[in-house]
Amino acid sequence: MVNEPLYSLRMRAAEGRAHEDGGLHISGGERLSTREELEEAVSALLRKALHHSRGTADFINIAIEKVAQEEIPVLAPLPISTYCTTSVQAGRKQAADLLRQSSVSDAAIERGFEILTSSYNLRGAVLLDSQSGERMDTRGTKGVRVSRMDWERMSHAIWKKRQPLLESVRVSEAVALATKVASAAGTVAELCWSDDPEYSTGYVSSPTKGYCRIFHLKEEGELSGGRIFFVTAETNIADYIEYLEKMPVWIG
């Protein structure tokens, strides 16, 4: 594993004005990088911010911080399955079934769908109690921003060879994020679909089910989307958020 100094990179881009001043969220991204690869990583995040289907980025914030930790844990990527549903109705039914099988209650599932279908400007995840469906964080549209995770280079190359149909950066990033979320103490399951209008595939992931891709979780053209993390009622929310936002992990 890499022993040289590492840097965490976080990018967020908004249209009109900064997020905190009411701008429309366009794109976000997070990486872990060695000093040598830093310039390339910044360029990749900048490209992501500048070329985006949600709109034109007028505000781009890229934060770079050295990661203090020496020993960084390595998490095996969640196993992937794909459900080729042919309508939004079938896709959402499939997602609900997988959430139920992961022990999320019907009330919480319903709440999760209500939030994602009505949110157009979420830049981080919403935390819901997996039984009551009550919101557990107080972050508003900022939500919880999972960061400080990235693919370990060699493992990523091998993983991509094994999944020739899933070579997009989007899928790699989503699997890395979902893997970190599933590893957090308190996570029951995650529901996600993209807020990008042209991308309607989403996923349910959980420690028991892995990463389950589902075609058509929304109609094409819709700007709604985001992430819901369903957690147990006993979860210490401050510790949970600290782990997801601050603890560096490699995926590999």
Tell me which of Mg ion, ligand PML, none is bound by residue 202, counting a contact when its beta carbon lies within the kind-specific cut-off of 5 to 8 angstroms.
ligand PML
190 binds Mg ion (CB under 5 A): no
Q: CA of 192: how far to CAs of 18, 177, 212, 227, 230, in Å? A: 24, 11, 10, 4, 11
Residue the block writes with tokens 């000093």 = 35
Provide, rounded to whole angstroms, the least separation between the CB of residue 86 and ligand PML. Answer: 16
51 binds ligand PML (CB under 6 A): no
CA 103 to chain centre: 20
Which parts of 114-153 interact with ligand PML (CB under 6 A)? none
Nearer to Mg ion, 97 or 196 (CB): 196
Q: Tell which one of 96, 174, 181, 251 touches ligand PML (CB under 6 A).
A: 174
Binding segment for ligand PML (CB under 6 A), chosen from 55-63, 151-159, 188-196, 241-249, is 188-196
What would the x/- binding string for Mg ion be over residues 191 to 230, using CB under 5 A?
A: ----xx----------------------------------
152 binds Mg ion (CB under 5 A): no
Tell me which of Mg ion, ligand PML, none is bound by residue 55, counting a contact when its beta carbon lies within the kind-specific cut-off of 5 to 8 angstroms.
Mg ion
Provide, rounded to whole angstroms, the least separation between the CB of residue 196 and ligand PML. Answer: 6
Provide, rounded to whole angstroms, the least separation between the CB of residue 126 and ligand PML. Answer: 14
How many residues of this chain interact with ligand PML, rule: CB under 6 A? 11
217 binds ligand PML (CB under 6 A): no
DSSP track, the chain: ---S-EEEEEEEEEESS-GGGTPEEEEEEEEEEESTTHHHHHHHHHHHHHS-TT---SEEEEEEEEE--SS--EEPPPPEEEE--SSHHHHHHHHHHHHHHTT--HHHHHHHHHHHHH-S---SBEEEETTT--B----GGG-B---SEEE-HHHHHHHHHH-TT---HHHHHHHHHHHHHHHSTTEEEEEEE-SSTT---EEEEETTTEEEEES-SS-TT----EEEEEE-TT--HHHHHHHHHH--EEE-
Q: Tell which one of 7, 18, 42, 55 touches Mg ion (CB under 5 A).
A: 55
77 binds ligand PML (CB under 6 A): no
202 binds ligand PML (CB under 6 A): yes
Binding site residues, Mg ion, CB under 5 A? 55, 195-196
